[in-house]
Amino acid sequence: MAQGQYQAEGRGNQWFEVEGSVVGLLSLGHLFLLLGKRVTCVT
């Protein structure tokens, strides 16, 4: 029973890491979009 609980926690931790990387990519993309808009406005 404890082993099953540990496996479930490990799975949740892995999903959290994947979700975190996705959020990081989205925020990076948002920053690049803002920088691109600023560059096009300056030029």
* Structural domain of 6: 1-43
| Amino acid code (one letter) for 41 | C
Q: For position 39, what pLDDT does the model report?
A: 75
Q: For position 23, what pLDDT does the model report?
A: 86
Per the structure, the count of domains in the chain is 1
Q: For position 42, what pLDDT does the model report?
A: 65
Q: For position 1, what pLDDT does the model report?
A: 46
Q: For position 22, what pLDDT does the model report?
A: 85
The series of mean pLDDT values per 10 residues for the chain, 43 residues long, is 53 65 87 85 66
